[in-house]
Each structure stands twice: as C-alpha cells, then as structure tokens.
C-alpha cells in the first residue's frame, strides 16, 4: 500500500514553485487562486523572494502548504493514496489532499496558524534545539527534571529528537543532555518554541478558527501528529489539529504505525525534497521512500 507524506516548516527554498508554475497550467491556476484568497502575492515571494523572505513564519507556512498542494493537483488521477500524513504544518496539506478541507479553507487556516504562532513568538521568547544520539526516554527524563519550560517537540527518528521551550530552559537542557552523552545538541535558528506550552495563545486563537470551519470525512485515513494514529472522524481530526500546537510531533511513531499497518511505499510531496525520506530511512530502511 502507498502513503503520501507532506513536509513542514524548514522545507522551504528560494524559487519554490517557479518551475511548476511555468510548466504546468494546473499549478499556475493553484498559485493564482491562492494569491486571490490571501489578498497578496504569495507566489511572487515564493518564485522570486530570498531565503530570508521565506523564513518569516507568516510566509513560510502558506508557501510550503501551497507548494505541496500544487504538486498534488499536478498528479491528478495518479494521486491514489491508501493513507496520508504530514509533519506539523504538513498535516494541513494531508487533510486538504484527502478532501477533508477545501483548498480555500485550508489556506486560510494555515494563514491564521502562521500569524497566531508568530504572535505567540513575539509575546514569549522561546527557542528549540536538535538532540542527536540519545534515547528518547533519556531526553524526556532530562526535560522533565528542568523547572523552566522545556519539552520534546519533534520525534523525528530514533536518536534524533527536537526539544522546545524557554531560552533558559533550552540552555539548561543543552548542558545536561551533553553531559548525558548526546553526540550533538544543536541550537536551532527558529522564531520561537513551537510545539510547546509557550504556544498556548496560538492554540487558543487557532482553535476558534478551526471550530468555525467545516471538516469532512477524508477519503483515506490521516495519521495525525498528536496520536501517531489514523483518524477519519472530523471532530477527532479537529481536536488533534488544535492540540498539535502545544504537543509534540510524533513522527517516528507515526511512520512505525503506518509500516505496521502494511504501508510499504512512501512518497514525499513538495518542499526542498527528501527531508521526510531521510527520516524514514533512519526509522526503517526496508520500506520504499520516493520524492516528488
């Protein structure tokens, strides 16, 4: 069985979508419609903006969503998933590809999510760090023992976990994780403490937006970040999307569960390419991983 997976923040690149827009009338129509819905030229920033332009959260998230979704539309009848999943922001793309969300509603939700997260970052300073070479349980225990806010945020693959929290909390965690034998603990250049309690105000704002929008039953199961399990119930999907802002992305567990459920081929759609394929190879080298 085949699953399509969609990348999240960090997969953006200068010029994203330009070739698709030039070569595909279907993609060009998607980009044009997106600009009309948003009320500004997102496609112009994507096609001709700098790397710095694309790092601004309010641009980054809609750009990544749009890039992946345009490629889904380019696949047309060839897009036949048995299951779908997306890493953080990519979950919105997965839901749109599965027809649980209309394109317009999804794009507006992604815009609201990006703006809400940006506002939270400005309210409370926070940061993140990548931890390489320690068991998840060790990282969890060290984070739990620090009084400042610091939590696991992204379970990306075995031995690679991202933590998130206050600047002071992350600094203490870096010291303790290094002392515990981590191969590397790398501070990340990010706007804030994503997938942590410091995103609570963004969660509340996004919750209102999600509750106001119609969700339909998806055409196939969506494996969601918060539970790492398949969902088809619109109300469950909504709650998991809301919880996602302050909860960890359980990507390792999601991939393991999809493989357990007999998914043997994974196709990554959009972004700079092969980010999720690379993580999957660290999780299980026996399954097929391709990139569009």
Burial of 80 (0-12, 13-18, 19+ CB in 10 A): exposed
Q: Is 195 a catalytic residue?
A: yes
Catalytic residue (choose from 164, 195, 196, 231): 195
Catalytic residue (choose from 88, 120, 164, 231): 88
Q: Is 88 a catalytic residue?
A: yes
Give catalytic residue positions. 88, 195
């Amino acid at each position: 069985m085949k699953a399509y997976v969609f990348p999240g923040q960090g997969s953006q690149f200068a010029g994203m979508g330009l070739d698709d827009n030039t070569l595909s009338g279907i993609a060009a129509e998607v980009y044009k419609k997106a600009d009309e819905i948003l009320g500004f030229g997102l496609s112009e920033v994507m096609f001709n903006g700098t790397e710095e332009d694309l790092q601004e959260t309010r641009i980054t998230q809609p750009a990544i969503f749009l890039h992946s979704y345009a490629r889904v539309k380019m696949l047309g009848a060839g897009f036949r998933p048995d299951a779908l999943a997306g890493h953080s922001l990519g979950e919105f793309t997965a839901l749109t590809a599965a027809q649980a969300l209309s394109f317009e509603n999804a794009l507006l939700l992604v815009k609201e999510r990006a703006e809400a997260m940006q506002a939270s970052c400005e309210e409370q300073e926070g940061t993140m760090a990548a931890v390489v070479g320690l068991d998840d349980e060790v990282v969890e225990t060290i984070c739990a023992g620090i009084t400042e806010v610091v939590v696991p945020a992204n379970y990306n693959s075995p031995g690679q976990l991202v933590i998130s929290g206050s600047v002071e909390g992350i600094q203490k965690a870096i010291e303790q994780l290094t002392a515990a034998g981590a191969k590397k603990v790398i501070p990340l250049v990010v706007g804030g403490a994503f997938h942590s309690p410091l995103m609570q105000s963004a969660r509340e704002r996004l919750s209102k937006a999600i509750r106001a929008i119609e969700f339909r039953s998806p055409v196939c199961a969506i494996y969601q970040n918060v539970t790492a399990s398949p969902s088809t119930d619109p109300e469950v999907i909504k709650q998991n999307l809301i919880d996602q802002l302050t909860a960890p992305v359980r990507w390792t567990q999601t991939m393991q569960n999809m493989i357990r459920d007999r998914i043997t081929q994974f196709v990554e759609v959009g972004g700079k390419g092969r980010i999720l394929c690379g993580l999957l190879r660290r999780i299980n080298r026996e399954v097929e991983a391709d990139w569009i």
